[in-house]
Amino acid sequence: MLARLLKYEIKATARLFLPLYAVLIIYAVINRLINPFYTLEIQGSFTFQTIFGTLSIIVYFILIVSVFVMTLIIIIQRFYKNLLGDEGYLTFTLPVNPWQHIISKLMTAMMWYILSAVFVLLSNFISIKDIDLTTLLNLIKSSIFNASFLILPILILVQLASNTMMIYDAMTLGHLFQKHRLLASFAMYCVLYIIQQVLLLILILPLSRGIFAFIFQSSTPTPGQLNSFFIFLIIPGIIMTAAHFAVINYILKRKLNLE
């Protein structure tokens, strides 16, 4: 059943994401042809071409930002409409357990986060000519240290999952209210955010002389320190994700009240 849910989940969201990626790639190809980065580099004086080049780069960055913003909006909207809106009347009469709905939504969301990042990177490679891959990789490696090369992406994924689940959780909790459910969802997000920050602080403070010492001493961390710092942050991320999952599952299973 989970495989089938995923299939329809991807189908329903792909029709929104694919055109978004198509626009990004087409624009990157156009950028490659007119090459605004190069134009700006060689033109010393203020010409029509520099204006055009600058504009084109600004539009490109707006496009990149909107891809990420749209990714988040589509993911939030899908959860809200498909589970808590009118579509929920069908979703919740399917012979499927609520946890499967949550997992299918989260897995699809993670897939689109990754794909959005991949397409933005791809559009970078397309729009900038003569990009030097080895220099780029070296740059990434030197900026986050060799040791964190694998840990950091995992940390980012865990953080994305836990934040997504927090948004899902806020909407589900907001739905427990009789009235003003959207407003209640925003309020719930604030509450969850504060709880999370407080818990994190409680966790970090006792370790201020240990793993987090470099933050409090504002010294440059060694690669080893940074690595253990990242690993340590992954754990609360996983715990928060699991906690949100438990709350959402309980409400959808035992306290569901669709409008």
Partner 1 sequence: MSNLLECRNLSKSFGPVKALNNVNLSIGRGRIVGLLGPNASGKSTFIKICNGLLTPTEGEILINGHKPGIETKKIVSYLPERNYLNDWMKVSDIIGFFSDFYQDFSKDKAYDMLSKLGITASQRLKTMSKGTKEKVQLILVMSREAQLYLLDEPIGGVDPAARDYILDTIIRNYNENATIVLSTHLIADIEKILDDVIFIREGQIVLNKTVDEIREESGKSIDSLFREVFKC
CA dihedral 109, 113, 114, 116 (to 10 degrees): 130
Question: Are 241 and 159 within 8 A, CB to CB?
Answer: no
| Choices 43-51, 93-101, 120-128, 195-203; region in contact with partner 1 by CB under 8 A | 93-101
Q: How far is the CB of 114 from partner 1 (least distance, A)?
A: 24
Examine residue 2 and tell whether it contacts partner 1 (CB under 8 A). no
Rounded to whole angstroms, the Cα distance separating 189 from 171 reads: 8
- Among 39, 97, 124, 163, indicate the residue that binds partner 1 (CB under 8 A): 97
Q: How far is the CB of 244 from partner 1 (least distance, A)?
A: 21
What sign for the dihedral angle of Cα 109, 110, 114, 120?
A: positive
Give residue 147's Cα distance to chain centre. 23
Of residues 155-214, those binding partner 1 (CB under 8 A): 178
Examine residue 1 and tell whether it contacts partner 1 (CB under 8 A). yes
| Choices 5-13, 108-116, 129-137, 141-149; region in contact with partner 1 by CB under 8 A | 5-13
Residues in contact with 226: Cβ distance below 8 Å, sequence separation at least 6, in sequence order: 144, 145, 147, 148, 214
Examine residue 250 and tell whether it contacts partner 1 (CB under 8 A). no
User: Which one, 24 or 83, has the nearer CB to partner 1?
Assistant: 83
User: Which one, 231 or 256, has the nearer CB to partner 1?
Assistant: 256
35: left (phi over 0), alpha (psi -120 to 50) or beta: left
- Entry field: residues in the chain: 259
User: Which one, 193 or 250, has the nearer CB to partner 1?
Assistant: 250
Residues of the shown chain interacting with partner 1 in the complex, contacts defined by CB under 8 A: 1, 4, 7-8, 12, 15, 86-90, 92-97, 178, 254-258
